Amino acid sequence: MRLSRPFKDAGEPFMPLAARIHEVPDNLLAAIDYCYEKGWTDGLPVVPPTLERVHATLGHEGRPPETVIATHPATGLELSLHAAAVNAVMAGCLPEYFPVLVAAFEAMDKPDFNFHGSTASTGGSAPLLIVSGAYADDIGMNADVNLFGPGNRANATIGRAVRLILRNVFQMVPGISDKSTQGHPGKYSFCIAERMRGNPWPLLCEAQGYPKGVSSVTVFAAGGFCNVENHGGNTPQQVLSSIADAMASYGCITLGQSVVILAPEHMRILADAGWGRVEAQAYLFMHAKRSVEGMRGVGKYRASEYEKQHGAHAHQLVETGYVHRGLAPEDILITLGGGDAGGHSCFIPSWSRGRGSIMQHKPIGVCIDCK
């Protein structure tokens, strides 16, 4: 069995594919064990990256395999399309998933995402991918029941491919370069689709300004998942106040960005009352706050952060004497996801205590907003 190596060393020129082939016994279990021995896994078995599967994956990209789509700013390590394809195969991706993975790393390569800090910090973030538009349906992604859970190949393997690339290409190895204090399960895989069915708001890809028919992927350096349960609230204010309380917990509140995925039950309450994304963002921003006194009491108050939020360019909704989550309502990404039954929405905090990483997005499979 002939396997492609999932990375190239720093400073190593792009080599012909034949120079990066590992010959292993023509035995599936032996090939899996070989990948373990080489340290190419996230702790779970990987699919051996055979040449045929890698070539099929690269067939969904029109650029040469040596094209670099992301660079690690601290080490200079580069992600080529070929290395991305190898790791996608190892994660279990089907070839048609590859454009999502490519767009995600092109988004993470933008400076404001802070690719190195978000993957090395003790904060333990994981890149959350949110796929918006028809492409998610085309490849069978889950935007419905058990949205963040197991069971969907596209969601699970695209997210896992991100982790394998971080480990194998960029050498973000736990305990060595990845200094996460505790981490969270999303570091295995953290990838969802935005729900289109029954969504009363413009899709994210539309709100991001992409032409009709163009799908997008948004990347967010995300902390751990927080379930927000409210089965009794029947007004937008009641539902959103529950979420704002989670966002403003002393353990989570920072000037960083946020992701909120509304369950359909909760979204219907907002939509029936005529609330759109802008109104929901403003309400959450106004109510996701803590007093300066309270922040001092837990040791989290920083005068420099307060001044940044309340300075000359402060948003009009900022309240004197309080620290809000984020700098403005636009720092809160809100959309629809999950099954029809159940008053369970979620809040996902940012990685850093401040503005260490800003979420980014890219179109999938088309050259719009190219570097």
- Are 265 and 210 members of one domain? no
- Nearest-CA neighbor of 38 among 160, 162, 168? 168
Domain identity same for 38 and 186: yes
Q: Is 158 helix (H, G, I), strand (E, B) or coil?
A: helix
What's the pTM value of the predicted model, to 2 decimals? 0.93
Averaged pLDDT for residues 198-221: 97
Averaged pLDDT, 196-211: 97
List, for residues 309-345, the tens digit of each pLDDT value.
999 999 999 999 999 999 999 999 999 999 999 999 9
pLDDT reported for residue 361: 98
> Residue 78's beta-bridge partner residues?
71
Mean residue pLDDT across the chain: 92
Residues 277 and 157 in one domain: no
Separation of alpha carbons 240 and 201, rounded Å? 16
Do 217 and 250 sit in the same domain of this protein? no
Q: Give Cα 218 distance to the centre of its chain.
A: 7
56 shares its domain with 146: yes
| Helix locations, 38-172, DSSP H | 51-58, 81-91, 98-108, 115-120, 134-138, 153-168
Q: How far is CA 360 from CA 2, 58, 236, 291, in A?
A: 37, 24, 28, 30
CA distances from 210 to 102, 132, 139, 197, 295 (A): 17, 11, 20, 20, 40
Q: Does residue 19 surpass a pLDDT of 80?
A: no
DSSP 328: S
Question: What is the band of 73 on the pLDDT scale with cuts at 50, 70, 90?
Answer: confident
Domain span holding position 233: 224-349
Do 210 and 228 belong to one domain? no
Signed CA dihedral, 108, 128, 353, 116: sign only: negative
Give one DSSP letter per residue of 338-364, joined into a string: S-SS--EEEEEEBSSSSSS---EEEES
Are residue 199 and residue 101 in the same domain, yes or no?
yes
Share of the chain above pLDDT 70, in %: 94
In contact, 82 and 74? CB cutoff 8 Å: no
CA dist 309 and 320 (Å) reads 10
C-beta of residue 139 within 8 angstroms of C-beta of residue 98: no
Verify that 190 and 95 share a domain, yes or no.
yes
Tally of structural domains, the chain:
2
Residue 172 has pLDDT above 90, yes or no: no
C-alpha to C-alpha distance for 95 and 102, rounded to whole angstroms: 12
Instruction: Please give the C-alpha separations between residue 77 and each of 40, 80, 173, in angstroms, as whole numbers.
Output: 16, 10, 14
Q: What is the residue type of 236? A: P
Alpha helix (H) ranges present in 169-233? 204-207
- Residues 22, 154: one domain? yes
Do 311 and 186 lie in a common domain?
no
Question: Are residues 277 and 183 part of one domain?
Answer: no
Residue 229 has a CB neighbour count (10 Å cut-off) of 13
148 and 90 part of one domain? yes
